[in-house]
Structure 1
Amino acid sequence: MSHDPLSDTLFALADPTRRAILARLSKGEATVNELAAPFDISLPAVSKHLKVLERARLISRGRTAQWRPCRLEPEPLKAVDGWLGDYRTLWEHRLDRLEDYLATLQADHDHQEDKND
């Protein structure tokens, strides 16, 4: 695994089970058993997913007596959002150009129909 935090975050987000775990944690803290409930996988498998999420610093685990709640740590997601921002700008520019092109096609079509009437 990389020591690059962005790579670690993207690796953690690449798995749909881990994304589902993060989605659940976005609603509040949960125990491993609560996180495992919707999945048809073993508790050790869920624990492995949690370790990947912890390594990426996407979650943290507290300790209250015997209870070890997991909680979402959204800070690494800001780095992903920032990295995607450059690509978002690129796609917005491309979509703006497409919109202009389609408007030109529509205007040409409307002009052609006016000539035929």
Structure 2
Amino acid sequence: MGPIYCDTYRDASGADVENVPSICDRLRDVMPQIGEPRGDAAIVFQHAMDRTVELVAAGVAERMFLDGEPVPSVSDVEQWVAYALLVASSPDAADRFIATCESMDAIFCVQTQTFSLRWQPY
């Protein structure tokens, strides 16, 4: 069973696991501020950016390729917002980052679909 909306849940092994928004809230307090060196936190920034793109891409693909309106995934939205807020300098910057991800992902999905329609196996 997956996480239920709370700060922690138990995974399959029975261990307590924090949810992504709660982890990002804690990380935000120790992340470098604007103007400070980010080298030591680069892997955290990269992971947060990658996960934002992946989660937004899943939502874009569902809207593009499924018939009808997809069932909203509240946890995915919570996660991509938490990750975006972790790497952005303000909520407005996070919104713009998410919008950019949606645009990039939509273009990629269209290109992939076009390629898939043209490609024919031997």
Shorter-chain-normalised TM-score: which range? Answer: under 0.3
